[in-house]
Structure formats: C-alpha cells, structure tokens
Amino acid sequence: MPLPYDRVLRGNLVLPDGILRDGYVAVRGESIAAIGEGELPPATAVDDFSGRYILPGLVDGHMHTGSAIGWPGIEGASMSAAAGGVTTICDMPYDVPRAVTSASIFREKVEAVHQLSHVDVALYATIRKSGGVDEIAGLAEAGASAFKLSTYEYDAVRFPRIDHPTMVAAFAEIAKTGLMVAVHNEDQELVERLTAEAKATGRVDPIMHARTRPPLAETMADLEIFEIGLETGAHVHIAHSSVARGFDIAESFRAMGAKASGEACIQYLCMTEEDLVRLKGFGKCNPPFRTAEEVERMWAAFAAGKIAYVSTDHAPWQREKKLGDDIFACGAGLTGLQSFAPLMFSLLRERGLPLTLMAKYCAENTARYHGLFPKKGAIRLGSDADFLVMEEGEYLFDESTLQDRPDARWSPYHGRRMTGRVAATFLRGACVWDGGAVLARPGQGRFVPRQHRDSALG
C-alpha cells in the first residue's frame, strides 16, 4: 500500500491547458505529488472544495511593502496577500529609508522577510543614482529575481532617476546576469513642465494628475529604454504600461531582436479617468488611469497575448497621505493585493473569458519572468503546493476586511461588485487563509531566490 498523502484538495482545477472539473491535487511535504480525477487517494487531510475553483497561488510581480513604513510593512502586506490568494510577492527595492542597492542590504532584507512575511517573497534589486553599477553582479548572486530602475525621480536616494549614460552601463551589466530589468517609464522633463504649468494656473483638481502625465510621457520613456536594451542585449521590461501602445512598442522591438516586454497593472484593465475624479487621492497612481477607450485597447492587447503578465503595483500608503484637495500633494499608489484575485476573476467573468487566463497571466507567466518557474506559478507535479481557492457568488468588496495595518485599510475598489471571493489560500501545502482569517504566522513565508537565469524571452 502506498503511503497516504499529507493533504488532498478536491475541486475544479485550473490547469494551464484547461479546467479539470471535480479533480484533485495531492500534496506530500510542501510539493504537489499527484493530480487526477475520480476516487480520492488516501490522505491525512482532505479539503473538499467541490464546485469551487482551485488555481495556482497568484504571483504578484510588482508591489511595494517598504515604500511607506520600511521593512516592517512586509508583515501587513503579506497578510493582505495571504487573504487575497497571492502566495508569492515580488517586492520592489525602493524601501524607506534606503533602497536595496547592495548585496549586504539585500541580505538584510532577506532576514526581514524570514522574520515578518506570511507568504513567500522574491526580491527586486536596484542601483544608486551614481556609482552603483559595480554592485549588480553581487545582487544577482544574492538571488534577486529582477532589477528595477526609473526614468523619473521620486527621491534622489530611495527612488532616483537613472541618467542615460548610467542606464546604458547598468543595462550592459544586467545583461550579463540574464535577469530582467524593469523600468518605471515616465519622461520626467515633460511631466515636470506640465505639472508646473497646472499649478501656476491653480489647477490642482484630480483630473490634472492624468493631464500632467499623458500617454506621451510613457511612450517617450518606453522608446528610450528599449533602444538601450537593443544596444546592450538586456531584457528590458515596462514596469507598468497604462496604454496599449506600450505593448505594441515592445512587440516592435522584439521583431528587431530585442528582449522587450511589459506588464499591465490590474487597475489599467478596469479603472478610468472618471474613477480618478471620483476617488481623488485614493485613485492616484503613476502612471494614472486612462480613458474608457484605452481600457478597451488594453483588453485587446491582453487578448492578443502582447502583455507579459498582470500585477497590482500594491503600495499601501497611510490613509492620511491620500487625503486633501490638492491632487499633487497626495501620495501615488494603490492598495491591491487582497483585491487582486477577486477582481481579476470578476473581470474575466464579465468579459466571458476563461479562468485559465488568470492562472497564466497572474501566476505562471509572472513566475517565468522572475525565474521562479516551475517552483512557483502552476499546478503541476513537483511545484510548490501553493493554491488559491475561488468561490463564485455576488460580493461587494469591503476595505474594512483588509488584513493590513489600520492606516492601510483603504481600497480604490471599496464597494465594487465582485463575482468571486477567496475561499482559501494554501502556501506550500499549509492553509494560510481560511476565508475569514489569516492562519499564517510572521516568518512562515520564505525568501525565494531566482531559481535560474533563463530569460522568459529566450
């Protein structure tokens, strides 16, 4: 008689090539040991999710735990991730009070992850405004999943603009590591001029955030970063394209032999300028929401397979930083981890699209681009037993249920109708969210180094 499995989950399995209805997935230790249908194999524990959907735990390729309060923010953000079915987060390096610009800082952050996180964590690295290129090899060796640079400066130390000569040198060095370099893509000169002109005329109302950061500011930056990528051989990735043209530009550079890609944050698939006016500071993010017509163009790009993956750009600013009538004085960034799964589930259902797209673009592709696949991102033999269980139904998203520190319990999706909710989350075979409470403890999450240096683009 074979030994019983540690756990078996029954439900509708969302696999890469389709949905196995009333199937099962069996866990031994922390890994997936069997996938099948019919009579359940013997197991120490059985979780019957019949009628519900079992997807791979989501992999959020873009979020910020430390931008608001530093590394202690890992604790609350990772609780929100567990409640949202996100079992692996790829955390940005722009932490308070210093960015992750050296192997020693990187290792310190890994220790913070091991003390604080409720889910598994991959880490981005970055470079200093000047003199940091020599640190790139060490950061890659320490296990960074990707690098992040910016064409726009938010803070000279924490979040600097990297000038063109330094970016060329950095891209060339990153190309040697095989890692992806994501870039915050906004043209600083254009945005600063438009912002100054708006302030000079007293226009500080919400819509001016969109008017002072037009699509042109993005596409100008896209062109320069892809040109540098073509020159250096680096895999260059748009960190967040709010316009479909960004993906067209990436496609055109791939046709020229460049490694060029881009992601869509989920807000750009559903939020519009009207939402910015309604939400005020709570709808402010960079790049800003676009028109309803642009949202449709984004979905067309998604349907055409031009988008690498979908992320959240989760940035849990203190509520007080989102208040006020001057939109330029409000912090830029949205909460999105806990709403990620129900929102993506709902958007696909509304458009009559298959849930396999959620597994592909919110888990598997993200893991591939960050070098975490096949350990993360799919329901397949040998992968980590990370699962998201979705229950279909009518729900209103309520920001008061967010599992984060009190001043971060706000959401641009508060009151939005959802057609599904996260019924359970499993991390490496253990239930970390039971539909009502986070069961994981701080430190149960682990740092996940990049597993290999193979590029998702070959």
CA distance 11 to 130: 52
State the pLDDT at residue 458.
63
Q: Is residue 28 over pLDDT 90?
A: yes
pLDDT digits (tens, 9 = 90+) for 414-431: 999 999 999 999 999 999
CA distance 159 to 284: 18
CA distance 65 to 300: 31
DSSP secondary structure of 303-366: HTT----EE--B----GGGG-SS-GGGSPP-B--HHHHHHHHHHHHHHTT--THHHHIIIIIHH
- Where do the domains of the chain lie? 57-370
Q: If we measure between CA atoms, which residue out of 230, 231, 154, 147 comes closest to residue 186?
A: 154
pLDDT digits (tens, 9 = 90+) for 61-92: 999 999 999 999 999 999 999 999 999 999 99
State the pLDDT at residue 1.
55
For range 240-249, the mean pLDDT = 98
Q: Which CATH number fits domain 57-370: 3.30.365.10, 3.20.20.140, 3.90.470.20, 1.10.1040.10?
A: 3.20.20.140
pLDDT digits (tens, 9 = 90+) for 35-58: 999 999 999 999 999 999 999 999
pLDDT digits (tens, 9 = 90+) for 320-338: 999 999 999 999 999 999 9
State the pLDDT at residue 182.
98
Angle among Cα 231, 232, 238 to the nearest 5 degrees reads 90
SS3 for 279? Answer: helix
CA distance 84 to 155: 30
Percent of the chain with pLDDT over 90: 96
SS3 for 301? Answer: helix
How many other CB atoms sit within 10 Å of the CB of residue 50? 9
